[in-house]
Chains A and B, each alone.
Chain A
Amino acid sequence: MIGTGRWSRVAFAVWAGLIILFLFFPIVIIMLYAFNPSNVQSWPLSGLSTRWFSSTWNNTEVRQALSLSLRAGLLATGIAMVIGTMAAFAVDRFRFFGRQAVSLVLILPIALPGIITGMALNSFISFNNLTFSLLTIVIGHATFCIVVVYNNVLARLRRTQSSLIEASMDLGADGWQTFRFVTLPMIATALVAGGLLAFALSFDEIVVTTFTAGAQNTLPIWIFAHIRNGQQLPQVNVVVLFVILVSLIPVALAQRLTRDTGALRSGARAPAAGAAPPAGPARAAGAGAIS
């Protein structure tokens, strides 16, 4: 049988080790660069220091970009949580024309190549004569974040029993009370996990943002522009370290919250077969959740 001989097991193990090394090597390296004391980006580093941290923190451009990223991320996440939950309830509780298409449509913004989603939103903005602002960024981010919340909440709803709702109604609770005291606690962790993933997605996003931000800088856009022009690279390195940490913390929390449903496995093992042609950017990972 394959992989039962001792040597073949060793060979497979070595291969797996090399792949893990390959996956983590760049991440470790880029984190080290944040501590590079020199402003020349060459290897080996001449030492380790935190001298760029304070100047980065005091950089107004960085601060503005960070603030824009946080505001856009929070607003987009808020919208995505409301709309994604509504769509998940509709699909789980009702049968209606076009129900099968909902998942497909919601996943489109991240299944299509980012430039297409970006251009579509860009033409929406110019067609309606909107000016580029926080609002346009939020519209863009919310559009691709909705599916993350939707998939997480839907996965949870599929695992809960509607008899609990009926029991609540039988015991005299009205619709609002049932939602507040029965339904919401059932979906709470999935909803929060979806929100966290949506935020992580939004905080990192660059392709769609370049088409919806105009001249404003979110943190990823600031990083991209400075890498391209080779400006302030020591500070870029520090910001990059920060971005890695900020995008991983929500993901780790979300993983804890949905350990049972495995919200993160998603992209790989999306649910309800065939509902959507799966493809999708890094973000797609959070798109599906298995129930």
Chain B
Amino acid sequence: MNAAARTHASAALYRRPWLRAALLLSAPSGWFVLIYLGALFLLFLSALWSVDAFSGKVVHSWTLANFETLIKVPAYRTIALRTIGIAAAVTVTDILLAVPFAFFAARIAPKRLQAALFVAVLIPLWSSYLVRVFAWRLILAKDGILNWFLGNIGLGSLNIGYSNWAMWIVFSYIWLPFMILPVWAAIERVPDSFLEASADLGAHGWRSFRLVLLPLILPGIVAGSIFTFSLTLGDFITPTLVGGAGSTFIGNVVYQEVGISNNVPFAAAFATVPLVVMGIYLLIARRLGAFEAL
């Protein structure tokens, strides 16, 4: 294109902001509407379809059979409750681990140490998720480092590899940075004067924490819990690698139904469970002001 034509085109574009906006938006909206949102819609529509038992083909007629199966078959109820239960346990554990750490990092540690701690929280967050789960598989194994350590200090051995306990530990470990960061940010924002006033008025330690600090940092805690809860709900890698016979998660069933049984409608129906749970959780979180804390 020669210079004059280019200037002309450029001026034409400049005079038409809507055209520039439309051009800029074309690729992103095309990509997301066609590839992602459309597929997402189709997926949840397919929860209302079924699979022909003989041909294995998806039958496009409306039915609630998938949801009926979910409610009626006790195994699925158990799996859903286990998934939600462990997600909740992991969330509580991470809150307990993160709050004192974040308090130290935000209010006690000197500036330089703060920076170092910050990087130290980011590194695990960014190193491969799969690799960290694998590390725990080795640590918790029968002849792993945990039992070696317990044996050396004379405590015998502990067989928690491949169990729900292992899942609880590993999930708590994996998502801990996601809890630390928002809680840290929330504690940092609390003005010193609030805690000083509380101490001056005679509230020390635990009372100050419970009555002053905790309500102020609650949005940060809830924000962190959105991560820990949602990430645990949708996982199937950790249950596969460190879980045992009774550790099946919603994600495992979904994965099997799609990958092995090819029953996408049922998988989609089961996948609505974490989605609905998360939806409710987000509504509550919004009431608690968690979105402003993110």
Contact = CB atoms under 8 A, between A and B. Distances in A.
B234 A176 contact: no
Contact of B275 (A27, A112, A251, A278): A112
B143 to A, nearest CB: 4
Interface string A72-116: 000000000011101101100110100000100110110111111
Contact of A223 (B6, B134, B143): B134
A123 B42 contact: yes
A278 B223 contact: yes
A269 interface: yes
A155 interface: no
B144 A87 contact: no
Interface in B127-171: 127-132, 134-139, 141, 143-145, 148
A24 B240 CA distance: 23
B86 to A, nearest CB: 14
Contacts of A83: 27-28, 31
B245 interface: no
Nearest to A207: B237
B260 to A, nearest CB: 12
A224 B242 CA distance: 12
Given A123-B42, A248-B123, A277-B226, A2 B208 contact: yes
A113 B136 contact: no
Interface residues of B, number: 108
Interface in A239-291: 240, 243-244, 247-248, 251, 255, 264-265, 267-270, 273-274, 277-282, 284-286, 288
Given A94-B20, A244-B127, A264 B108 contact: no
Interface in B248-294: 251, 254-255, 258-259, 264, 267-268, 271, 274-275, 278, 282, 291-292, 294
Contact of A247 (B117, B126, B205): B126
Contacts of B132: 26-27, 30
B198 to A, nearest CB: 7
Nearest to A241: B131
Given A24-B120, A86-B28, A267-B181, A278 B226 contact: yes
B122 interface: yes
A265 B10 contact: no
Given A123-B39, A279-B226, A15 B104 contact: yes
Contact of A206 (B123, B129, B254): B129
B135 to A, nearest CB: 4
Nearest to B45: A123
Interface in A1-25: 1-4, 8-9, 12-13, 15-16, 19-20, 22-25
Given A27-B127, A223-B134, A8 B27 contact: no
A204 B278 contact: no
A181 interface: no
Contacts of B122: 251, 255, 264, 285
A169 interface: yes
B196 A1 contact: yes
B138 A41 contact: yes
A13 B109 CA distance: 8
Contacts of A235: none
A86 B25 contact: yes
A56 B219 CA distance: 47
Contacts of A174: 6-7, 9-11
25 contacts: A13-B104, A22-B97, A23-B124, A26-B173, A27-B135, A29-B135, A33-B135, A41-B143, A82-B27, A90-B21, A108-B36, A109-B36, A115-B254, A123-B264, A143-B36, A175-B13, A210-B259, A220-B130, A227-B134, A244-B128, A248-B123, A251-B126, A279-B231, A285-B122, A286-B126
Give 9 nearest A-B pairs by CB, closest first: A113-B234, A268-B181, A124-B39, A26-B135, A174-B10, A42-B143, A30-B135, A175-B10, A90-B24
Interface of A: 1-4, 8-9, 12-13, 15-16, 19-20, 22-27, 29-30, 33, 41-44, 82-84, 86-87, 89-90, 93-94, 96, 102, 105-106, 108-109, 111-117, 119-124, 126-127, 139, 142-143, 146, 169, 174-176, 200, 204, 206-207, 210-211, 220, 223-224, 227-228, 236, 240, 243-244, 247-248, 251, 255, 264-265, 267-270, 273-274, 277-282, 284-286, 288
Given A16-B117, A89-B24, A282-B174, 4 more contacts: A1-B208, A15-B101, A120-B36, A124-B42
